[in-house]
Chain A
Amino acid sequence: MKMSRMRVSAALLCVATLAAIAAGVTAGDTQPASAPANSPASGQQLYGRHCLSCHQADGGGVPKMQPPIKGGTWVMGEPRALALFVMTGGFDSGARKDSDNGNVMPPFRQLPDADLAQILSFIRAKFGKDGTPVTAAQVAEARASLPQSQ
């Protein structure tokens, strides 16, 4: 039986995948390492660790589950508002009432100022039409305005 070109390609891909698995290397097997401070890649790495599984690599979210952030009001808006939203999460957010998404963003207040600044800078640049970077000092200032118990 003659194999079609598509089948041959698929078979080759399978062989490659199985070989990779046999070698203990699965696709995307990257537990992100800690990025060096101020490294341009670190915002992307931190996004991959904390945000990507819900908002996805393209910032498009998942329909009816997690909202897209690409081109949204948060990433396009003021850094301080964005920092406050990410640190407090969506549980008590006004936007939550009108959302048809199933899942709520937890607060990310546990992350240090520098990590949050890198994540926010990354999503503003990538999903917010070249938004300006956010500094750790801006995150710290926003954090200081939050109630201690939150």
Chain B
Amino acid sequence: MRPISLARVISLGCAAMIAGAAFAADDGLTLPAGFSATVVQEGLGAGRHLDVAANGDIYLAGAKGLNAMRDTNGDGKADQVKAFGNVEGTEVRIFKDWLYVSDDVGVYRYPLKKGELAPSGARETVVSQFPQERQHADKTFALDPKGTLYVNVGAPSNSCQEKDRQEGSQGRSPCPLLEKYGGVWVFDGTKLNQTPANGRRFATGMRNAVAIEWNAGQNALFAVIHGRDSIDTLFPALYNAQDNATRQAEEFHQIVEGGNFGWPYTFFDTKLGHRVVAPEYGGDAKKVPEAGKYPDPLVAFPAHWAPNDLLFYSGKSFPAKYQDGAFIAFHGSWNRAPEPQAGYKVVFQPMKAGKPNGAYEVFVDGFAGDMPDNSPNNARYRPVGLAVGPDGSLYVADSQKGRIWRISYAKK
């Protein structure tokens, strides 16, 4: 798969704008022609992922806990908002009659009873006792139709150096973190009170796959993985600031059982268009790892864009080209500085039979605003979560203020 350079990304986005395919929408967001965004919720603070029930009720996870929302008068805005539960985390997914949620150390579920907005039933523990970590700690997950639970266990490290993020520190070999982190672990999602010991490592070599999703049409698991940081400050003799800002791909993969996706030993270099050995493991900015050991990504997205949610579109209201394609919420970079920050957008990757079908397109942009001082703190909004409503609308959650937008398509 040919990587896409920054210039290509900009030119694609610009071509769309100049051709008149985008227009200013609510909040200054730009969308393709025919789409519009409306604000469903003004903001509940630091949103993360969200899901939408068959009746249109919205469930949002966030740093300040869980919220349920309902639009009772049909004006498109949530007019009932109820905080519930006691879980502060990232993931929330409706599965059958349950609302599954997670924090940094466990996965839990609440019963969803008919007519009830906020679950009144007691929280049940599906898996608990993941080690409490500070880095890449969110336990995002996906569920397949049988209830198999796929948990992203991010690595509490940038590149498994002996001293994390320290200039020149070598990589630990083999990386001991991979025994408990840096991959996907599977559990029976219908069983209660499990611990990590009840799980099985499904795939490894994944630094942090916050954006993890079951693709029902392909009966397969997919993820977009956060690539590594700081090749320039850790190995200044090999890489400069512009290299760091552009070369380490955010990798989109199908996650197969037994797969090894190369962290921390390698990363996919978008400048060279192939995987390279990481500098901590003897890489010289061009050395190629053992052939066939690690797969190339389906798509190599630009460095540091921070893929935080993935969704395969199965709704009926968007045009045909969106069917089975992937929407990805890119939270936006911090590690590109002093280069201009990037990401902060929702991208659409056309897909056919589980493979990319053409170049990705910027679907929603304009979240970050002017972002004074090039600082992520000053981004107006940062897209972080995606869901599809019963009418096929796409919902996007923001982490700066907890705002939620509903993106709908009107036939022209």
User: Is the A/B pair a real complex?
Assistant: yes
Selecting from A47-55, A75-83, A116-124, the interface stretch reads: A47-55
Give the residue of A3, A26, A53, A56 whose beta carbon is less than 8 angstroms from that of B20.
Answer: A3
Are A53 and B14 closer than 8 Å at their CB atoms? no
| A144 touches B (CB below 8 Å) | no
Selecting from B118-126, B163-171, B189-197, the interface stretch reads: B163-171
Give the distance in Å from the alpha carbon of A89 to the alpha carbon of B233 in the complex.
15
Are A62 and B334 closer than 8 Å at their CB atoms? yes
Give the residue of B6, B10, B241 whose beta carbon is less than 8 angstroms from that of A31.
Answer: B241
Give the distance in Å from the alpha carbon of A61 to the alpha carbon of B233 in the complex.
17
- Would you list which residues of chain A between 51 and 67 have a CB under 8 Å from chain B? 52-54, 56-58, 60-63, 65-66
| B31 touches A (CB below 8 Å) | no
Cβ-closest chain A residue relative to B335? A53
Contact with A along B230-252 (1 / 0, CB 8 A): 10010000001110100000000
Are A57 and B377 closer than 8 Å at their CB atoms? no
Are B10 and A58 closer than 8 Å at their CB atoms? no
Q: Residues of A contacting B334 with CB < 8 Å?
A: 53-54, 56, 62, 65-66
| B218 touches A (CB below 8 Å) | no
Are A101 and B375 closer than 8 Å at their CB atoms? no
- Asked if A102 meets B135 with Cβ closer than 8 Å, knowing A53-B233, A53-B337, A56-B375, the reply is yes
| B22 touches A (CB below 8 Å) | yes
| A36 touches B (CB below 8 Å) | no
Cβ-closest chain A residue relative to B22? A7
**Interface residues contributed by chain B, number (CB under 8 Å):** 45
Listed residue (A26, A49, A106) with the most chain B CB atoms within 10 angstroms of its CB: A106
Cβ-closest chain A residue relative to B136? A102
Give the residue of A7, A29, A103 whose beta carbon is less than 8 angstroms from that of B135.
Answer: A103
Give the distance in Å from the alpha carbon of A81 to the alpha carbon of B231 in the complex.
29
Give the residue of A18, A27, A48, A103 whose beta carbon is less than 8 angstroms from that of B340.
Answer: A27
Give the residue of B14, B18, B136, B164 whose beta carbon is less than 8 angstroms from that of A104.
Answer: B164
Give the residue of B17, B230, B242, B372 whose beta carbon is less than 8 angstroms from that of A26.
Answer: B242
Are A27 and B339 closer than 8 Å at their CB atoms? yes
Give the distance in Å from the alpha carbon of A102 to the alpha carbon of B134 in the complex.
4
Give the residue of B14, B168, B378 whose beta carbon is less than 8 angstroms from that of A18.
Answer: B14
Q: Residues of A contacting B167 with CB < 8 Å?
A: 106, 110
| A137 touches B (CB below 8 Å) | no
Give the distance in Å from the alpha carbon of A56 to the alpha carbon of B374 in the complex.
8
- Chain B min CB distance to A109 (Å): 10
Give the distance in Å from the alpha carbon of A6 to the alpha carbon of B366 in the complex.
12
Are B163 and A106 closer than 8 Å at their CB atoms? yes
Cβ-closest chain B residue relative to A102? B135
Q: Residues of B contacting A62 with CB < 8 Å?
A: 334, 376-377
Give the distance in Å from the alpha carbon of A106 to the alpha carbon of B344 in the complex.
28
Are B377 and A15 closer than 8 Å at their CB atoms? no
| A37 touches B (CB below 8 Å) | no
- Asked if A106 meets B377 with Cβ closer than 8 Å, knowing A4-B24, A30-B338, A52-B338, the reply is no
Are B375 and A107 closer than 8 Å at their CB atoms? no
Contact with A along B136-149 (1 / 0, CB 8 A): 11000000000000
| B13 touches A (CB below 8 Å) | yes
Give the distance in Å from the alpha carbon of A61 to the alpha carbon of B22 in the complex.
33
Give the distance in Å from the alpha carbon of A117 to the alpha carbon of B155 in the complex.
35
Q: Which 6 A-B pairs have the closest CB atoms?
A: A14-B14, A106-B166, A58-B373, A102-B135, A62-B334, A60-B377
Residue positions of B touching A, CB distance < 8 A: 6-7, 10-11, 13-14, 17-18, 20, 22-24, 134-137, 158, 163-169, 229-230, 233, 240-242, 244, 334-340, 372-378
What are 10 inter-chain pairs, A to B, with CB distance below 8 A? A14-B14, A14-B18, A29-B242, A53-B335, A62-B377, A101-B134, A104-B165, A106-B166, A107-B166, A110-B168
- 18 additional A-B residue pairs with CB within 8 Å, beyond A27-B339, A107-B166: A7-B20, A17-B14, A21-B7, A27-B340, A29-B339, A53-B233, A53-B335, A57-B374, A57-B375, A60-B378, A62-B334, A62-B376, A63-B376, A89-B166, A100-B134, A103-B158, A103-B165, A106-B163
Residue positions of A touching B, CB distance < 8 A: 1, 3-4, 6-7, 10-11, 14-15, 17-18, 21, 26-31, 48-50, 52-54, 56-58, 60-63, 65-66, 89, 91, 99-104, 106-107, 110
